[in-house]
Amino acid sequence: MHSDSRAAALVALANDQWGLVTSRQAGTVVGVSPQHLKQIADAGVLERVRHGMYRVANFPYDQHQDLRVAWMALDPARVVWERLDDQVPVGVISHRSAAVLHGLGDMDADVVELTSERRIRLSMPEVEIHRGRLERADWEVIDGLAVTTGLRTVADLAKAGIDTGHLGGVVRDALSRGRVGEDDLIAALADQALAYGHAPFDGRGFLDALVEMAGVPTTAISLAHIAAQHTVARATDPAELAEALKSLLPPGQLLSALERIRTETTIEEALAKVLGAIMQDPTLVAALQNAGLREAFEQARPVLDPATLRAIRAAQRTGGRTEQ
């Protein structure tokens, strides 16, 4: 392959990896020698990010570049899409870095944190590598990176002894956005309950304390839980779902409860999501109306999104039949 074509192939490979390429990949994938790689960099086509890692010059800004560089450095010979096909990649983004990618809590992640099953040392002082067991269910792909799931992230942060204020914020967001189920979270927190001053294996008490510290009304968490469950699997018993919503927030209390959580946009989105889904099912609409929630819908008007409000009004006009 001509040197110019190899340089073009190298840039193409980097473009498929957020503008990044390792010297190992340059040699094994494209066949570019270390000397040629240096020439390409000296010509201004690539810029050196760290030892063994290059970036295409003038590649668009990426706010997660530090995470990508660290993750690629764990397994520098393999391209990213191959690693994402592994049952468990050589390392995943975890702990505070994972929380940031999930949008959970409000922690600073000035150090890139990763977890690997095997011992790995990188000459990168801004990177911390935890050693721990990983299974396929423990990670997912976010923005092209292997990242611990919301549930595993909470468990890792609790095990690492993060302060309850920050942990509470992560738990609040994970629950309210439907990233984790309440029962799974209780089980994940149980092992660390004693370390945080609760009874041994009291995951329920630990979770309640975190939720209270985060200032999240119980009604908000329950609403989000119902929303998450409804989107995962449609209710098999419409009347049961209607009664669950009614018992959670009776019509006379819905408005005040919503006022308390108005600042939690994620809660509003959760409520709009579940009601929007319900409005697409005439049977559920009828069940909710029979449960006496018509007034509750009207009281919810200030915080529901326009699309959901239109569906509610249409359902009310048609007596429970959604308009096409």
- pLDDT tens readout for residues 222-272: 555 544 444 433 434 445 544 555 555 444 444 444 444 444 445 445 455
pTM over 0.85: no
Which pLDDT band holds residue 213 (cuts at 50, 70, 90)? confident
Percent of the chain beyond pLDDT 70? 65
Report the DSSP beta bridge partners of residue 55.
Answer: 20, 47
pLDDT tens-digit series, residues 262-298? 444 454 454 555 555 555 555 555 555 554 444 444 4
Distances (CA, A) of 183 to 48, 99, 192, 299: 47, 20, 15, 30
pLDDT tens-digit series, residues 159-174? 999 999 999 989 888 8
**CA gap 101, 18 in Å, rounded:** 16
The predicted pLDDT at position 208 comes to: 86
Mean pLDDT value of segment 75-103: 94
- DSSP sequence for 165-200: HHHHHHHHHHHHTTSS-HHHHHHHHHTTTGGGTS-T
**pLDDT(217) > 60:** no
